[in-house]
Structure 1
Amino acid sequence: MIFDKLKKFYIVFDSPEVDTPPVFANGDVVSGKVVLELTGECKVDSLKFHAKGLAKVRWTESRTAGSSSAYTQTYSDEVEYLNVKEPLLQPDNGEMVVLQAGRHEFPFSFQLPEETLVTSFEGKHGSVRYWVKVKLHRPWATVRKIKKEFTVIQPIDINTPALLAPQAGTKDKMARVWYRNFGQVSITAKIDRKGYTPGEMIPVFAEFDNSTSRPVVPRASINQIQTFIARGTMKQKRSVVAVLCGDAVAPRCRDSWQGRAIKIPPVGPSILQCRILKVEYILRVCVDVPGTSKLSLELPLVMGTIPLHPFGSRTSSVSSQYSVNLEWLRLAVPDRPEAPPDYNTIVSDDEAEQNTAPPQGVEEFSGMLERPLQAFVQEFRYRPPPVYSEVDPNPQPFYMRPRCMTC
């Protein structure tokens, strides 16, 4: 039977690391291969390849009147980011291709668009997905299809002026009188910057002023907001991803947080460039006020993929290059010059005595001037050098050139 001849049919992406799924960004080249393992001879009409990227949203809203639904409205929309088609195996003359038993590999390769893509995402009312689909057409057989998704992450560098700017705000609220809790509660909060990456700690600086007659409890949380847009209608889903609880603030008292840290859990990056789908984050600082609704202050956050550099992206690269240059200089020029070797370690005692001994037959100083020049050279050749010292034994007087006043 035909079905028995097709043993395996799957897709493999090229990955630099074994057992690690590849992750791509805009402009990257996606490559891999389609593998067919046959147990016998098989005729193939064509093998077609299709790569696609799609952002899609969909939800349903119902309006009820009593026990029955008055109407049901469905909202949906989609945006295409990738669409690549090519035949991996298709004869030009219209005849079928006969594949023998064994393993057959068909490589594929395509480049992602250079323009901004949207990060892969799975939400309650929408998703952003990228996949590769292959169809195998054979005579008198059902079309076999295989599909494999791959991940795309649009880089977000938080080392930009907009994301490095501090975020701050102030908010106050009056408590209700009928609950015997008259007074005002105010919040002032600040964070160092707007952009962070998962795993970082956010130091929260806040001040809570409780002028009511009841204690209040401050809290901080990181919230994710998923926004889905279709046909002029918006649907949102909010979820809390991290919480920080503080101590109660007594009545007529004030308390402050001097950098209380809240850790960012592993969450997906922000999605801000899609027309129908957005993923945003906020830091919410709130106070539970008895007898009234919560007083909350929201500061915007952006979850990036490129972490913070010590001095920003551009200055960091310059500083790293400068440090490399300093290291090269440090290796090339020693901190302190080495002292010259000892004379005794180079010339033996016998050789020194032999070369420094005066020539035979010369006893008086008056006859030294009559000797040939070579004798003086031999006499001073193996004499030890002066004692090494870092202090100049003959310092030159310091002279400063007078400055011309007319220049």
Structure 2
Amino acid sequence: MRPGGGVRSFALELARGGAYRGGELLRGRVLLEAAAPLRVRALEVAARGGATTHWLQGRSVGINAVSSDFTAVETYLRRRQLLLRDTGETTTLPAGRHEFPFSFQLPPTLVTSFEGKHGSVRYCIKATLHRPWVPARRARKVFTVIEPVDINTPTLLAPQAGAREKVARSWYSNRGLVSLSAKIDRKGYTPGEVIPVYAEIDNSSTRPVLPRAVVVQTQTFMARGARKQKHAVVASLSGEPVGPGRRALWQGRALRIPPVGPSILHCRVLHVDYALKVCVDIPGTSKLLLELPLVIGTVPLHPFGGRSSSVGSHASFLLDWGLGAMPERPEAPPDYSEVVAGDAAAGGQSPVPLPQDADLSLEGPFFAYIQEFRYRPPPLYSEEDPNPPSEAMRPRSMTC
């Protein structure tokens, strides 16, 4: 076979799969297998990524129908690397398998990959093989980018609450007032978490009403000053009907978030937003709707720092709604005989068995200290201090 023909395979391979984020190093290699000696002019690799929105919108102008084209493009990634530079002369590669490694430093901030009806955010790697007198050979590999959205921030850990009311009307006559108040303990959640929904529905009308809660995803596409939106319900929760003159209380009804994409808030051509909508269906009247904003993140709640603030806000949240109360006085600790079994306490046996390891001897000053205090019960509990502070140590009150 003459030099210049015979590419058996040409492909791209990334060093690791999964998703990337801004600032990481994207590594990979170009795999080229030649069936015969191959004349190559250049080999380049390019990384591309950005957001695109597009839709058609029709309108009437007189008796004619006119269709407007709305398109917007925003570029986030544009990198290029030459693996075989074009010097004006061809390079002959021997037959067989060849590997050409490459790497790209991703920008520090990138928007999360997304696929929607009227727009998308896509990232890919393209390799192009240039040969003399032969059409260029191309290979393409798509990769995913996830923008970190940390919910452990004061804004996303703050409780969200609201209240609405509506007059139920039927045939132009008032049938009573329906009121709704709802609250959630924070604004930020991650997929798989459960949102405890607290709500109060007061039905003063003459007909039963039905409360429910849904998590709605809103995709907003923007181009040339116009907007196109698409709404989708990703999770729902239905309550029991509330009869006339009755009141219902949701004390943390669980609404689980399914595996959905994170919120996209920092793109100029498209947004992905979430909201918790608590609504009451009123017969004969439009529904009563209360909307609480949500942010779906990628970094879950921290088990220590974020959880402590969340637990504190959750406790005050319950107290505000009258769903919990602090005890007036702390309870006394249990008696020693209630904790230790009767036989062990009477016979002087330790409730925790000692290890039977022959190499572990109970000798030495440390183990002697353990043996001395091993069978002693704890001191008796008393609500009065047996050793009150003296007058010299008693703090003085500051008066002014």
The interval holding the TM-score normalised by the smaller chain is: 0.7 to 0.9
Q: In the alignment, which of 8, 32, 46 is matched to residue 50 of structure 1?
A: 46
1:42 CA displacement: 1.1
Report the equivalent of 2:119. 126
1:387 CA displacement: 12
Report the equivalent of 2:99. 105
Counterpart-to-counterpart distance in 2, 1:387 and 1:229: 75
Aligned residues, how many?
Answer: 326
Report the equivalent of 2:90. 96
Counterpart-to-counterpart distance in 2, 1:404 and 1:263: 56
Report the equivalent of 1:31. 27
Which secondary structure state, in structure 2, belongs to the residue aligned with residue 175 of structure 1? strand
Which secondary structure state, in structure 1, belongs to the residue aligned with residue 155 of structure 2? helix
Pairing 1:174-185 to 2, within 5 Å after superposition: 174-178=167-171, 182-185=175-178
Q: In the alignment, which of 197, 200, 203 is matched to residue 204 of structure 1?
A: 197
Q: Which amino acid aligns with 2:8?
A: K
Report the equivalent of 1:152. 145
Which secondary structure state, in structure 1, belongs to the residue aligned with residue 266 of structure 2? coil
Considering only aligned residues, what root-mean-square deviation do their CA atoms show, in Å?
2.8
Whether the 8 Å contact between 1:14 and 1:32 is mirrored in structure 2 is yes
Counterpart-to-counterpart distance in 2, 1:388 and 1:149: 65
Counterpart-to-counterpart distance in 2, 1:193 and 1:103: 56
Whether the 8 Å contact between 2:301 and 2:307 is mirrored in structure 1 is no
Q: Which amino acid aligns with 1:80?
A: T
Report the equivalent of 1:380. none
Q: In the alignment, which of 210, 217, 222 is matched to residue 229 of structure 1?
A: 222
Counterpart-to-counterpart distance in 2, 1:210 and 1:388: 66
The reply on whether 1:59 has 2:60 as its aligned counterpart is: no
Q: Where do 4+ consecutive residues of structure 1 move more than 3 Å?
A: 1-4, 313-316, 386-389, 400-405
Report the equivalent of 2:342. none
1:339 CA displacement: 3.9
Cα 1:69–1:305, aligned 2, differ >3 Å: closer, same or farther?
farther
1:180 CA displacement: 6.5
Question: What do residues 230-251 of structure 1 show as CA deviations (whole Å, max 9, x unaligned)?
Answer: 1111111100001101110001
Bigger radius of gyration among the two: 1
Counterpart-to-counterpart distance in 1, 2:59 and 2:40: 53
Whether the 8 Å contact between 2:5 and 2:38 is mirrored in structure 1 is no
Counterpart-to-counterpart distance in 2, 1:207 and 1:401: 54
Counterpart-to-counterpart distance in 1, 2:238 and 2:132: 67
Q: In the alignment, which of 259, 266, 272 is matched to residue 279 of structure 1?
A: 272
Which secondary structure state, in structure 2, belongs to the residue aligned with residue 163 of structure 1? helix
The structure whose residues are more often helix, as a share, is 1
Pairing 1:7-406 to 2, within 5 Å after superposition: 7-15=8-16, 21-64=17-60, 70-92=65-87, 94-114=88-108, 116-178=109-171, 182-313=175-306, 339-340=362-363, 390=372
1:310 CA displacement: 2.7
Counterpart-to-counterpart distance in 1, 2:244 and 2:172: 15
Question: What do residues 109-138 of structure 1 show as CA deviations (whole Å, max 9, x unaligned)?
Answer: 011112x21000011111111111111111
Report the equivalent of 2:339. none
Counterpart-to-counterpart distance in 2, 1:32 and 1:151: 14
Which secondary structure state, in structure 2, belongs to the residue aligned with residue 169 of structure 1? strand
1:281 CA displacement: 0.2
Whether the 8 Å contact between 1:181 and 1:214 is mirrored in structure 2 is no
Cα 1:289–1:41, aligned 2, differ >3 Å: closer, same or farther?
same
In the superposition, the TM-score normalised over structure 2's length comes to 0.76
Q: Which amino acid aligns with 1:113?
A: P
Cα 1:288–1:181, aligned 2, differ >3 Å: closer, same or farther?
farther
Structure 2: runs of 5+ lacking an equivalent: 310-359, 374-388, 395-400
* Percent identity of paired positions between Structure 1 and Structure 2: 54
Whether the 8 Å contact between 1:281 and 1:303 is mirrored in structure 2 is yes
Q: Which amino acid aligns with 1:33?
A: R
Cα 1:51–1:338, aligned 2, differ >3 Å: closer, same or farther?
same
Whether the 8 Å contact between 2:83 and 2:100 is mirrored in structure 1 is yes
In the superposition, the TM-score normalised over structure 1's length comes to 0.75
Question: What do residues 253-287 of structure 1 show as CA deviations (whole Å, max 9, x unaligned)?
Answer: 11011100011000000000111111000000001
Q: Which amino acid aligns with 1:127?
A: S
Counterpart-to-counterpart distance in 1, 2:229 and 2:371: 79
Counterpart-to-counterpart distance in 1, 2:37 and 2:293: 62
Counterpart-to-counterpart distance in 1, 2:244 and 2:211: 13
Cα 1:126–1:252, aligned 2, differ >3 Å: closer, same or farther?
same
Counterpart-to-counterpart distance in 2, 1:139 and 1:10: 20
Counterpart-to-counterpart distance in 2, 1:136 and 1:91: 11
Counterpart-to-counterpart distance in 1, 2:233 and 2:138: 39
Structure 1: runs of 5+ lacking an equivalent: 16-20, 317-336, 342-385, 392-399
Which secondary structure state, in structure 1, belongs to the residue aligned with residue 70 of structure 2? strand
Cα 1:102–1:60, aligned 2, differ >3 Å: closer, same or farther?
same
Question: What do residues 334-388 of structure 1 show as CA deviations (whole Å, max 9, x unaligned)?
Answer: xxx97427xxxxxxxxxxxxxxxxxxxxxxxxxxxxxxxxxxxxxxxxxxxx999
Which secondary structure state, in structure 1, belongs to the residue aligned with residue 156 of structure 2? helix
Whether the 8 Å contact between 1:181 and 1:290 is mirrored in structure 2 is no
Whether the 8 Å contact between 1:62 and 1:69 is mirrored in structure 2 is no
Report the equivalent of 1:5. 6
Question: What do residues 45-75 of structure 1 show as CA deviations (whole Å, max 9, x unaligned)?
Answer: 1111110111111111001479x75211111
Counterpart-to-counterpart distance in 2, 1:65 and 1:188: 47
Residue range with higher mean Cα deviation, 131-140 or 258-267: 131-140
